[in-house]
Amino acid sequence: MKEYKTSQIRNVALISHNGAGKTTFVERALFNTGATTRMGNVQNGTAVMDFEEEEMARNSSVAAAIAPIEWRDHKLNILDTPGFADFIGEVNAALRVVEGALVLVEAVAGVEVGTELVWHAAEQQNLPRVIVINKMDRDNVRAQRALNSVRDNLKGNFVPLQLPIGEGPSFKGVVDLLSMEARLGDKDERSPIPPDMVEAAEAAHMAVIEAAAEGDDALMEKYFEEDTLPDEDIVRGLKLAMQQGLCVPVLYSAPQAGIAVVPVLNAIMRLFPAPDEVGPFTAVAANGDTVEHPVSDSSPLAAFVFKTREDPYGKMSYLRVYGGVVESDSRVWDANADSEVRVGSLQLLRGKEQIPIPRLHAGDIGAVVKLGETGTNDTLCDRGRKLKLEAIQQPPPIAQVAIHPVSQSDVAKLSQSLNRLVSEDLTLHWHTEQATHETILAGMGNTHLEIAVKKAQQKFGVNMTTSVPLIPYRETITRTAQAEYTHKKQTGGAGQYARVFLRVESLDDDAGFEFASEIFGGSISAPFVAATEKGCRQALDAGPIAGYPVVGVKAIVYDGKEHPVDSKEIAFQTAGREGFKKAMMEAGPIMLEPIYMVTITVPSDNMGDIMGDLNTRRARVLGMDQDGTKSIVRAEVPLAEMQAYSADLRSMTQGRGVFSMVFQNYGRVPSHMQEKIAAEARARREEHNTH
Ligand SMILES: Nc1nc2c(ncn2[C@@H]2O[C@H](COP(=O)(O)OP(=O)(O)OP(=O)(O)O)[C@@H](O)[C@H]2O)c(=O)[nH]1
Ligand SMILES: [Mg+2]
């Protein structure tokens, strides 16, 4: 592939609700531009972009993939993203490294929840957007209804740059409102505007000019004087208006049949800014200063790793260059790891295909294998000019599973494979839950987690089973109490003796543990006070009700007794531990459970069902908001009630609801539930001990 300068590059992400035809669009673009000789198909697993095993099995994308499309002396780096909400992490990564987003709206369904989700993600990055009303050839398409759905559900000044010629199976092409001619069929043939559309086209053309004039004051003046604008000015004005968020062009396409795909490629090339047209990039220098440099080959080197993928050939790091030129077979500095890394041979990626290239210019996107310790979000730079680019923002996880390695060899490989999984996917997290001794994998939904587990099997050969995680309860007390404990052992040899008087006081439920001594006059000496504290701390791992960690307690040793010969530190540890448990039992012990702040967004029609359902989940509703046709509820809900929420919400709303959840605090378990939970925990422990 030929080398392209920064100004000839366009980086765009295709984003949409699940299944709006993103991958098919890219397959068509690859085929049309001669990059492939047969058009790939999502359904039969031949799509260049859906090359992961899981994608072929599901006939749907699960990861972002890149297609460099050579088009009229430009290179369009198109990032095809997955539409399924579980993979929003891939969308966020793609949006971070592009200058524009093509938002596909399925022509029959109109705007869907996933459309809104990715729309907001692109909006947060201030990216210029184009709407493509897609799959125009489907039965029952009503183009006007689709456009209305865009206007009703998304915020923006939506300006059609085309009029569709026919709709549904009779979709033939589009009227291009810039050149004022028709583009027909899969050969994109030029033809005059159909006579019955001339009038509508004239009116729509004026609307385009007006939108363009708003992009720039000078253009607006020129437009007022001359009542029209030359073509180059219209494109320039639209581009400026898009960058200021003043205008969102609307196009129509049917990529499966290949109709009106070329005009979309033209729009990408003409309307989205080149990487050097969006102003300088911002980075943090070694001294902590924020610095700016133009996106240019002559700026200091700054290449951002936005994705990492385990490939049969090794670790593949996806790079976006902001400043300077990355050369094959060079040495660069990883500013985050603060170490030198060797760049082997650089590649352009087309799906999984690797095209070796000598260098990657500022603004371009490529990949490199086996980049040492470098991970996603790291910046590669010059050793002498260290620069760090801002990390990709990802949402907190909303689903969890407990994972159990199957065999002894799986146990041995577990943590290493989990580390590799999470380094490939920054919306995936794992930890060992101290309260339940379970290994927890957390992510963006059940499908996300299922795929991660499969990946561990397929890519790393680790077999594991999953289960619904146990809730990591805590135990605490509700009042002050005291206890006295004497530890005495005087059977032959050296004896042991320790006596302590302890008081426990309740702290905030989310506080940890505190210890104090009120020993005056030396009834126990300092080393034994310390040993008593150590004993109390030993008791924190397993509380007296059901063996969960103890929080929110202050223990005070206020008296005691020691023996000149038989008192030893170990004796005071035992007395501290047992005395603490005894005092806790007297202090109204209760169980605490994790409470999450949950935000649920659903079509307003579903609101009644959602509220009714929340009632059964012990939720405390904090507020409700209306946003267009959507309702948003915020509620505090115990984790124990949220275990299967993503599936439940999907079935309550036919997939039209979304939610997020963030840990908030520990709350009290209602007393009528406590005994049952405690009994189950004890039974589990007994079963565990007998095995
Ligand atoms: N009628 C019609 N069907 C299409 C068109 N484009 C795609 N499809 C079909 O729509 C389905 C989804 O297409 P994809 O290209 O996988 O959509 P996607 O947006 O990549 O889907 P995700 O990656 O799952 O979000 C497939 O069955 C395609 O064959 C089109 O132009 N017309
Ligand atoms: Mg896809």
Rounded to 5°, the CA angle 679-683-686 comes to 140
> In ligand 1, which atom is closest to the CA atom of 43?
27
Q: What average pLDDT does this structure show over 31-44?
A: 94
* pLDDT attached to residue 208: 97
User: Do 13 and 157 sit in the same domain of this protein?
Assistant: yes
Chain segment 214-260, per-residue pLDDT in tens: 999 999 999 889 888 888 899 999 999 999 999 999 999 999 999 99
Domain membership flag for residue 528: yes
> pLDDT tier at 372 (50, 70, 90 boundaries)?
confident
Chain segment 460-517, per-residue pLDDT in tens: 899 999 999 999 999 999 999 999 999 988 776 678 899 999 999 999 877 899 999 9
Residue 363's domain is classified under what CATH number? Answer: 2.40.30.10
Q: CA 265, CA 12: separation in Å to the nearest integer?
A: 11
Give SS3 for 43. Answer: coil
Tell whether the torsion through CA atoms of 551, 556, 561 and 566 is positive or negative.
positive
Q: Which amino acid is at 536?
A: C
Q: CA 311, CA 344: separation in Å to the nearest integer?
A: 15
Q: What average pLDDT does this structure show over 304-328?
A: 93
* pLDDT attached to residue 390: 97
* pLDDT attached to residue 163: 98
Count of Cβ atoms closer than 10 Å to residue 327 Cβ: 14
Q: CA 349, CA 368: separation in Å to the nearest integer?
A: 10
User: Do 446 and 543 sit in the same domain of this protein?
Assistant: no
Asked if 316 and 367 touch (Cβ cutoff 8 Å), the reply is yes
The alpha carbon of 36 and the centre of ligand 2 are apart by a number of angstroms equal to: 17
User: Do 43 and 92 sit in the same domain of this protein?
Assistant: yes
* Joined tokens for residue 471: 């809730």
Residue that is last in its domain, among 557, 588, 619: 588
Q: CA 379, CA 300: separation in Å to the nearest integer?
A: 12
Residue 155's domain is classified under what CATH number? Answer: 3.40.50.300
Taking alpha carbons only, the member of 132, 77, 70 closest to residue 99 is 77
Give SS3 for 455. Answer: helix
Domain membership flag for residue 212: no
Asked if 117 and 30 touch (Cβ cutoff 8 Å), the reply is no
Domain membership flag for residue 196: no
* Joined tokens for residue 152: 């009703």
Residue 315's DSSP bridge partners are 310
Q: CA 41, CA 23: separation in Å to the nearest integer?
A: 9
* pLDDT attached to residue 644: 86
User: Do 427 and 502 sit in the same domain of this protein?
Assistant: no
Residue that is last in its domain, among 368, 388, 408: 388
Count of Cβ atoms closer than 10 Å to residue 680 Cβ: 12
DSSP for 657-687, please give it: -EEEEEEEEEEEPPHHHHHHHHHHHHHHHHH
User: Do 300 and 425 sit in the same domain of this protein?
Assistant: no
> Three-state SS across 528-572?
HHHHHHHHHHHCCCCCCCCCCCECCEEEEEEEEECCCCCCCHHHH
Domain membership flag for residue 689: no
User: Do 513 and 630 sit in the same domain of this protein?
Assistant: no
Q: What average pLDDT does this structure show over 541-545?
A: 91
CB proximity list for 57: less than 8 A, separation 6 or greater: none
Q: What average pLDDT does this structure show over 22-30?
A: 97
User: Do 36 and 84 sit in the same domain of this protein?
Assistant: yes
pLDDT at residue 346 greater than cutoff 70? yes
* pLDDT attached to residue 492: 67
Residue that the structure tokens 């080398």 belong to: 3
Q: Which residue's CA is the closest to the ligand 1 atom numbered 14?
A: 21
Q: Which domain holds residue 100?
A: 6-191+247-277
pLDDT at residue 544 greater than cutoff 70? yes
The alpha carbon of 358 and the centre of ligand 1 are apart by a number of angstroms equal to: 35
User: Do 565 and 602 sit in the same domain of this protein?
Assistant: no
User: Do 325 and 437 sit in the same domain of this protein?
Assistant: no
Strands 513-517 and 553-561: parallel
Q: CA 443, CA 434: separation in Å to the nearest integer?
A: 19
Q: CA 496, CA 294: separation in Å to the nearest integer?
A: 75
What is the Cα gyration radius of the chain?
31
Q: How far is CA 205 from the centre of its chain?
A: 40
* pLDDT attached to residue 494: 72
Q: Which residue's CA is the closest to the ligand 1 atom numbered 27?
A: 43
Count of Cβ atoms closer than 10 Å to residue 285 Cβ: 15
The per-type count for the chain, helices as H runs and strands as E runs, is 16, 37
pTM of the predicted model over 0.85: yes
> In ligand 1, which atom is closest to the CA atom of 61?
23
Q: In what order do the strands lie in the sheet with 281-285?
A: 290-293, 281-285, 387-388
Residue 379's DSSP bridge partners are 304
DSSP for 469-508, please give it: PPP--EEE-SS-EEEEEEEEE-SSSS-EEEEEEEEEEE--
Domain membership flag for residue 224: no
Residue that is last in its domain, among 388, 409, 434: 388
* pLDDT attached to residue 679: 93
| DSSP structure class, residue 577 | H
Q: How far is CA 509 from the centre of its chain?
A: 31
The alpha carbon of 56 and the centre of ligand 2 are apart by a number of angstroms equal to: 10
Half-sphere exposure of 450 (CA within 13 A, CB side): 7
Q: CA 476, CA 543: separation in Å to the nearest integer?
A: 8
Taking alpha carbons only, the member of 239, 271, 148, 648 closest to residue 446 is 648
Q: Which residue's CA is the closest to the ligand 1 atom numbered 11?
A: 19
Q: Which residue's CA is the closest to the ligand 1 atom numbered 32?
A: 135
Q: CA 316, CA 313: separation in Å to the nearest integer?
A: 8
Q: Which of 167-176, 314-323, 655-664 has the lowest mean pLDDT?
A: 655-664
User: Do 18 and 126 sit in the same domain of this protein?
Assistant: yes
Residue 407's domain is classified under what CATH number? Answer: 3.30.70.870
> In ligand 1, which atom is closest to the CA atom of 62?
23
Q: Which residues line ligand 1 (CB under 6 A)?
A: 16, 18-24, 42-43, 60-61, 82-84, 135, 137-138, 254-256
Residue 631's domain is classified under what CATH number? Answer: 3.30.70.240
Chain segment 600-626, per-residue pLDDT in tens: 999 999 999 999 999 999 999 999 999
* pLDDT attached to residue 550: 95
| Burial annotation 341-366 (CB, 10 A radius, 16+ → b, else e) | bebeebbbbbbeebeebeebbbbbbb
Q: What average pLDDT does this structure show over 357-361?
A: 96
Q: How far is CA 491 from the centre of its chain?
A: 63
Chain segment 140-163, per-residue pLDDT in tens: 999 999 999 999 999 999 999 999
Chain segment 552-562, per-residue pLDDT in tens: 999 999 999 98
Q: CA 661, CA 656: separation in Å to the nearest integer?
A: 17
Domain membership flag for residue 543: yes
Q: Which residue's CA is the closest to the ligand 1 atom numbered 23?
A: 61
Angle of helix 198-213 relative to helix 217-226, nearest 10 degrees, comes to 140
Q: CA 278, CA 300: separation in Å to the nearest integer?
A: 18
The alpha carbon of 110 and the centre of ligand 1 are apart by a number of angstroms equal to: 14
Residue 441's DSSP bridge partners are 401, 430
Q: Which residue's CA is the closest to the ligand 1 atom numbered 1?
A: 138
Residue 580's domain is classified under what CATH number? Answer: 3.30.230.10
Domain membership flag for residue 204: no
Q: Which residue's CA is the closest to the ligand 1 atom numbered 13?
A: 21
pLDDT at residue 104 greater than cutoff 90? yes
Share of the chain above pLDDT 90, in %: 86
Q: Which of 323-337, 462-476, 553-567, 582-596 has the lowest mean pLDDT?
A: 553-567
Domain membership flag for residue 87: yes
Asked if 94 and 81 touch (Cβ cutoff 8 Å), the reply is yes
Mean pLDDT, rounded, of the chain? 94
Q: Which amino acid is at 114?
A: G
Please give the tally of structural domains in the chain. Answer: 5
* Joined tokens for residue 136: 């125009």
Asked if 600 and 651 touch (Cβ cutoff 8 Å), the reply is no
User: Do 171 and 300 sit in the same domain of this protein?
Assistant: no
The alpha carbon of 606 and the centre of ligand 2 are apart by a number of angstroms equal to: 28
pLDDT at residue 442 greater than cutoff 90? yes
The alpha carbon of 635 and the centre of ligand 2 are apart by a number of angstroms equal to: 34
Q: CA 468, CA 479: separation in Å to the nearest integer?
A: 34
> Three-state SS across 338-378?
CEEEEECCEEEEECCEEEEECEECCCCEEEEECCCCCCCCC
Question: What are the residue ranges of helices labelled H in 60-154?
Answer: 88-96, 113-124, 143-153
User: Do 426 and 449 sit in the same domain of this protein?
Assistant: yes
